[in-house]
Amino acid sequence: MTELILHHYPESLFSEKARAMLNAKGLAWRSVIIPMIMPRPDTIPLTGGYRRTPVMQVGADVYCDTALIAAYLDDKGTGPTFFPAAHRLAAQTLARWVDTELFWCSVTLRFLPENMGNFFAEPGSAAAFAEDRANFAQGAVVRRFSVDEAVACYATFLGEMEAQLADGRAYLFGADWSIADFSVYHVLWFIHAGGGMLDWLERHPHVAAWHARMRSYGEKPWHDLSGPDALAIALASEPEAVEHGSDMPEISVGSLVDVGPLDYGVMPTRGTLLKCDVATIVIRREHTLTGPVNVHFPRHGFGIKNLLS
């Protein structure tokens, strides 16, 4: 298997989700640390306009969004599936709710003054981050949480989670993990990384034990790689073969398209459509630093626009 390369930064909660999934599966992977804010000269050549973090590179193939990364990793490495048949619908539904609704709750809570911790360790980084995310939020169609609403939402969720784990199960749906565990984990990790809300975990001992179990997956080591070296790997590689096809009659294979998230960070990536089905969208794009690359997106939560019509 071509080596797995994660483009991420330490403070990113979705990156923590990807790190935990890679480590839980016992997979070796390379780490490219990217800037928290733009510009990202060693990642944008791979992704085009897509700005969310993380992305996973496998040779000359780039996988965007942790939902798709999970699907790619599921039959790799060791351990149980992320998508157990008996709980697939429930686990996927919970994961999607957490990655959207509870995610925005966590953003409000993490950036409370008393819960900031050392998120902005460098002088001036807070102002630069705010300016960058204001640009990133242009065109977003999300509902932000007020502090009171976020506190109530998270308190309710922790209580329900405590009750779910009270029978001694190791994970949310039983003895084995599912995608829901990794989605819930990265949000809780983000909320409590600042240190100002640790007493919330202490008041929920079953959640605290589960959180410690999940956190152990995020703490394992990886091997560092520079951004230019990652680009060189893409340039020296060929994209994997893709079974061409489109389930959208108005957008055929070979069309020039824009693909991007529908909710926030809506900056699109432009390329030639190779595949569009109920699960994935794959486009081919090219850059002088990478050569031809295939960029993969999940269908859920992403839109595709035909530029030739």
Q: Where are the domains of the chain?
A: 4-77+223-306, 85-217
Q: How far is CA 231 from CA 1, 241, 290, in A?
A: 18, 20, 6
Q: Which neighbouring-strand residues pair with 41?
A: none
Rounded-to-integer distance, Cα 51 and Cα 29, Å: 21
Same CATH fold assignment for domains 4-77+223-306 and 85-217: no
CB 115 within 8 A of CB 109: yes
Rounded-to-integer distance, Cα 250 and Cα 44, Å: 29
Supply the DSSP string of 204-246, one letter for each residue: -HHHHHHHHHHHHHHTS--EE--HHHHHHHHHTS-PPP---EE
Query: Residue 309's pLDDT is what?
Result: 61
Of the options 3.30.413.10, 3.40.50.720, 3.20.20.140, 3.40.30.110, the CATH number for the domain spanning 4-77+223-306: 3.40.30.110
* Closest residue by Cα to residue 81 from 2, 182, 162: 182
**pTM here?**
0.96
> Pairing between strand 29-33 and 269-276?
unpaired
pLDDT tens for each residue of 228-239: 999 999 999 999
pLDDT tens for each residue of 7-55: 999 999 999 999 999 999 999 999 999 999 999 999 999 999 999 999 9
pLDDT tens for each residue of 207-259: 999 999 999 999 888 899 999 999 999 999 999 999 999 999 999 999 999 99
Rounded-to-integer distance, Cα 121 and Cα 143, Å: 28
Q: Any idea which architecture 85-217 has in CATH?
A: Up-down Bundle (1.20)
